[in-house]
Structure 1
Amino acid sequence: MNQVRQQPYLAFAVALLAIGALSAMDAVMKHLSIAIGAFATLAWRQVLAVLLLAPIYLAVRKGWPTAKAMKLHLLRGALMVPMSLLFFWGLARVPMAQAIALTFVAPLIALVLAALFLDEPVGKRMASGSLLAFAGVVLIFVGQGRAELGEQALWGSVAILGSALCYAINIVVMRRQAQNARPLEIAVFQFLITGAGFWLAAPFAGLPDYPAGQEGAMLLATLLSIAGMLLLAFAYARAGAAYLSSTEYSGFLYAVVLGWLVFGETVSLFTTAGAALIIAGCVLAARTRRIDHPTLETAA
């Protein structure tokens, strides 16, 4: 076991870069989900990612995962199946900025989970912050109704909120996982376990269509996903989950730009105001806590 020195400022910058890579991946995945469906997109992306990463991991690994690390790999991999499917199914039905704004409730939930499971301190203003964030979500839904985006957009938004709940748990598990395994190991086993989950569900959900004509987009989405995952694993090994969860807010700016450039989407005042309320709620909830970054141990 090696000690990983805590570097919160470096970790914060790396996490911001990771969110940028993952936001670009979201744009490509939205295109693929519209073209061939979210389930097929995710199933084939996992296969491609394992084919790209497994040979590198097998060549450089210094041993197999510990029992503790494997339990965390299995937990996070299983969690990623509903989380990713709900998100990309919803993303195909709502504008990118609105989808990302709704996911901002995840850091607020993560603050509570970090306090319960990681013993990380949480501010006393959690109730007020939660109310602000809830008001932001309601405002986004009101704007959606006024824009008459339709029933599909409504269910897409509900799916994204479900994904946000899964992602809040994922943030906490990611912190524990980063303490017990190296980034490459985390990435390989996440893609492997999540991919197994999708393909085991194929007999019930239907075999995923091969992405004919979309191979380039699939490769790009996979590479961006790998980059984002490795960068996040690096960051979460060097700073606390509650502290780094705030980097998720940069995703709204990324989504606004990418949604406009790639899909010609505009951002309503309701979405912008709702995102601002959610962010304000998260900041308020965390405002009074003191953040510590103790030295942790990670697998050699």
Structure 2
Amino acid sequence: MTRPRPAMAFAVATAGIAVFSCMDAVMKGLSLEIGTYNALLWRSLAGTLMAGLLYLPRGPARPSRAALRLHVTRGAVMAVMAVLFFWGLARVPMAQAVALTFIAPLIAIFFAGVLLGEPVHRRAVIGSLVASAGVLLILFGQTRADLGRQALLGSAAIVVSAICYAYNIILMRRQSLVADAREVAFWQSLIIAGFLALAAPFLAVLPAARHVPMLVLAALLATTSLLALSWAYRRAAASYLAPVEYTAFLWASILGYLVFAEKVAPLTVAGAALIGAACLYAARVRPVAMGNLEAAA
């Protein structure tokens, strides 16, 4: 079978980020309404049911030992990452929150070189540095706004979450080489829900009926994004796909304005332009050959 062209993987990953950004907006609203923990717990449980409908009917075999180890590791990382990110997101504007996460792709490119043995292309490095300059420009503009102590704590939580996400990108690449997208989506949802459920006796509260549709929507968006990203990372190198993460800022700016009336400053727009240009530049990297990576996995 002919392998899809890397540009297709890049496009699918970009679409996955767009869907994930929509999920962020839904989750921010839920976090403000029912709290971060309960929003994540019930979304993860709904996501497990959805992913199970795609995965279980085919009579899947038990995951390999290597795959199961990656599922558990990534699930633990994602649980910590999600709690920190959505707790912070409830306290800062969406555009600022996403801008802070943009340290993750830059770190991931170098993680990919160290942990996966992927060559770090010059275009990827330059693109990430230019995009980082765009992020700094955005943050400079937002320091003029007095958002208070809670916003500072939220920003700190998001930065730690971004470091976790950089490692998550590498785990996603490894995971995609030993499991297909449906297996990844099911096991990730199940394991994240399992980790969150450990605190259920102390923190869980049954959501009101009016919150159920949004929880289902969040789960649907999260599952769709997981499937798209898993498909893309199975077909292209992590260092090649990492820059697509920067497109999340554009979606966060739009959704933050439309849903939460969060205004976007001129410097934010300028930073977004830098980020977009950097992504287009980095996307022209000649992708690494897949054979050696699959053999290593």
Task: Choose from 8, 14, 17 the match for 1:16.
Answer: 14
1:209 aligns to 2:191 (yes or no): no
Aligned residues of 1:4 and 1:237 also touching (Cα < 8 A) = no
Q: Which amino acid aligns with 2:96?
A: Q
Structure 1: runs of 5 or more not aligned: none
Structure 1 partner of 2:29 = 31
Aligned residues of 1:69 and 1:181 also touching (Cα < 8 A) = yes
Structure 2 partner of 1:268 = 265
Q: Percent identity?
A: 50
Q: What is the CA–CA distance in structure 1 between the aligned matches of 2:278 and 2:100, rounded to whole Å? A: 13
Aligned residues of 2:46 and 2:216 also touching (Cα < 8 A) = yes
Structure 1 partner of 2:288 = 292
Task: Choose from 225, 233, 243 the match for 2:230.
Answer: 233
Cα displacement (A) at 1:55: 4.1
Q: What is the CA–CA distance in structure 2 between the aligned matches of 1:91 and 1:124, rounded to whole Å? A: 33
Structure 2 partner of 1:146 = 144
Q: 1:124 and 1:7, CA in 2 relative to 1: closer, same or farther beyond 3 A?
A: closer
1:197 aligns to 2:195 (yes or no): yes
- Tell me the TM-score normalised to structure 2 length: 0.88
Q: Which amino acid aligns with 1:261?
A: L
- 1:1-300 aligned at under 5 Å gives the runs 5=3, 7-123=5-121, 139-203=137-201, 206-212=202-208, 213-274=210-271, 291-295=287-291, 297=294
Q: What is the CA–CA distance in structure 2 between the aligned matches of 1:178 and 1:13, rounded to whole Å? A: 17
Which sits farther off after the overlay, 93-102 or 64-73? Answer: 93-102
Aligned residues of 2:112 and 2:239 also touching (Cα < 8 A) = yes
Q: What is the CA–CA distance in structure 1 between the aligned matches of 2:153 and 2:265, rounded to whole Å? A: 19
Which string of whole-angstrom CA distances, capped at 9 and with x for unpartnered residues, describes residues 221-272 of structure 1?
1000000000111111111111111111211111111111111111123434
SS at match of 1:238: coil
Aligned residue pairs total 293
Q: What is the CA–CA distance in structure 1 between the aligned matches of 2:288 and 2:139, rounded to whole Å? A: 36
Q: What is the CA–CA distance in structure 2 between the aligned matches of 1:21 and 1:111, rounded to whole Å? A: 23
Aligned residues of 1:28 and 1:221 also touching (Cα < 8 A) = yes
Q: What is the CA–CA distance in structure 2 between the aligned matches of 1:155 and 1:277, rounded to whole Å? A: 27
Q: What is the CA–CA distance in structure 2 between the aligned matches of 1:31 and 1:96, rounded to whole Å? A: 11
Structure 2: runs of 5 or more not aligned: none
Higher relative contact order (CA 8 A, sep 6+): 1
SS at match of 1:147: coil
Q: 1:287 and 1:224, CA in 2 relative to 1: closer, same or farther beyond 3 A?
A: closer
Q: Which amino acid aligns with 2:64?
A: T
